[in-house]
Amino acid sequence: MKIGVIGSGSWGTALTKIITDNGHDVIWCVRSEKTAAHVRERHHNPKYLSSVYFAPDHLTVTTDVTEVYTNAEWVVLAVPSAFVSGYINPFLDKPIKGLRIISAVKGMVPEEIQLLNQYLEENKGFQPEHYVTVMGPCHAEEVAAEKLSYLTFAGKDADLVQQVAAIFHNDYVNTVTSSDVNGVQYAAILKNIYAVGIGIAHGLGYGDNFQSVFVANAAGEMTRFLSAISGGGDKQVDYSASVYLGDLLVTCYSLFSRNRSFGNMIGKGYSVEATKLTMQMVAEGYPAAMSIFKLNKEAGAAMPIADTIYRILWEGMDPSVAFSSLEGKLY
């Protein structure tokens, strides 16, 4: 089986490691020919997770996305949500509609404020049964170190989801399956917003006591939104499961969390633009705050935390003033 991976950041690199470690052939699309040449010659990504070495007999590296769509049976999309449409729209005349897509995108298509599967189905005629999403809780850095991690795979076709989960399962990756395709993606989007918030709290000088209350309230807020956006929610969904609560916890508390780091700089007084330039990495919680704010106008969930983060990031509200107001809304 040949699997395509589009995206050469830390998450794309980690997923490529898992798949090749498991003996599957990968055609990997990276951003630049310089990176491609380095991987071909030295068998590791020079910029992200450079400690990870790949078996060359299982890896083909390219900078041409068309090669991935033409030659792979499955395509893993592991690019920032802001850029994902650019890796799809130009290739609609290729066999993309018949492909099976594994989405590792942790955000919405910004032009439409839609999840990737919604965008593909409503605008591109993609078969929803051919879509599987992969979510955490899982930091790429721990995959690189082969520390035991858990990945959740969600899709409409249970047999297909099991097949995909088997591709990734090994002695350092346990796999979980789910049918809550939209819910796990919304949860991944929300946890990034809350991680930005916990970073702001830390940057402002709030201690562990407040931060624990913040995260507990964020978990409740996430549940309210997921229930509202699904029209009442699937009563069988356990929102304390690892893909919901677990991913929220690790993203809020881990030092690997770029969203927490992004928020920490905001809390310390950096502007959004200065923070983006300094980090030189995409923090998905920033665009997500705008998307969720707009979506929730229809969903109508009580979301004081997400609203506060939106106003800080997008309306320029002073973080200390915003959090002072938020204090009285938590319990």
- pTM reported for the whole predicted model: 0.94
What's at 157, amino acid-wise?
D
Residue 110, classed as helix, strand or coil, is coil
* Active site annotation includes 97: no
CATH 3.40.50.720 fits 2-179, yes or no: yes
Q: What are the C-alpha distances in Å from 229 to residues 65, 234, 283?
A: 34, 11, 24
pLDDT tens string 131-151: 999 999 999 999 999 999 999
Among 34, 124, 191, 329, the active-site one is 191
d(CA 126, CA 318): 43
Determine the topology of domain 185-327 in CATH: N-(1-d-carboxylethyl)-l-norvaline Dehydrogenase; domain 2 (1.10.1040)
For the chain, what are the domain ranges? 2-179, 185-327
pLDDT tens string 51-101: 999 989 999 999 999 999 989 989 999 999 999 988 888 776 555 667 899
